[in-house]
């Protein structure tokens, strides 16, 4: 099934620069329906207001981290199946293991480039 590039995507990061970078990259890949949140709590609020097809989130945010957001989503029937990609500077093996065990669909370390984002998104959504 072809990937719907109009799917609503939620990107979560406490740095405005990173939100802008990811949004621009998604736009170049053809994904224009992108909303932003500044931490896990803000993301949860938005998730309850609109059905997102993908969440791309940073880890290290306050007051709610991306890891906490992921765990909360996976524990909630409403959000447990929403694909979740972590984009983070946290690159230790224990981070990758913890995220995988919590149900993350893919893991990107910063700094990253457009090709990496595309490859990881395709592995989660299918080819586009």
Partner 1 sequence: MSGTQPMNMQTKLGSSLLKSLIQLREQKGSILIEDVGAILQNVAESLHPAASQADQFLRQEIAKMAQYITDARQEIYSLIPPTEQNGKPVPSAAEQLDVVIKATEEAAGTVMDTAEEMQTIAKKLGNTPEAQKLTELSNRLFDACSFQDLTGQRVTKVMRSFGEIEERIAKLVQLFGAVPSDFGGPRSNGSKPTREDAHLLNGPQMPGEAPDQAAIDALFEGLKN
According to CB under 8 A, which one of 34, 39, 107, 125 is a site residue for partner 1? Answer: 107
Whether omega before 63 lies within 30 degrees of 0, making that bond cis, reads yes
Q: Does 97 bind partner 1 (CB under 8 A)?
A: yes
Distance CA 110, CA 16 (A): 15
Question: What distances in angstroms separate CA 115 from CA 6, 57, 69, 119, one per listed residue?
Answer: 20, 18, 26, 6
Task: For residue 12, count CB atoms less than 10 angstroms from its CB and return exposed for 0-12, middle for 13-18, buried for 19 or more.
Answer: buried
Q: Does 53 bind partner 1 (CB under 8 A)?
A: no
Distance CA 33, CA 52 (A): 10
- 50: which 2 tokens? 């609109």
According to CB under 8 A, which one of 2, 50, 77, 113 is a site residue for partner 1? Answer: 113
Q: Does 122 bind partner 1 (CB under 8 A)?
A: no
User: According to CB under 8 A, which residues from 55 to 74 bind partner 1?
Assistant: 59-60, 63, 65, 67-68, 71
Residue 50: CB minimum distance to partner 1, A: 26
Q: Does 31 bind partner 1 (CB under 8 A)?
A: no
Binding site for partner 1 (CB under 8 A): 13, 15-18, 20-21, 24-25, 28, 59-60, 63, 65, 67-68, 71, 89-98, 100-101, 106-114, 116
């Amino acid at each position: 099934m072809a990937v719907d590039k109009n799917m609503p995507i939620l990107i979560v990061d406490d740095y405005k620069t990173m939100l802008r970078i990811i949004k621009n990259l998604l736009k170049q890949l053809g994904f224009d329906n992108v909303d932003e949140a500044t931490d896990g709590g803000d993301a949860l609020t938005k998730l309850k207001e609109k059905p997102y097809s993908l969440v791309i989130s940073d880890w290290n945010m306050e007051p709610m981290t991306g890891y906490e957001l992921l765990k909360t989503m996976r524990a909630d029937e409403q959000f447990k199946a929403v694909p979740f990609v972590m984009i983070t500077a946290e690159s230790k093996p224990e981070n990758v293991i913890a995220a995988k065990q919590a149900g993350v669909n893919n893991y990107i370390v910063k700094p990253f480039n457009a090709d990496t984002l595309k490859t990881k998104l395709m592995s989660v959504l299918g080819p586009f």
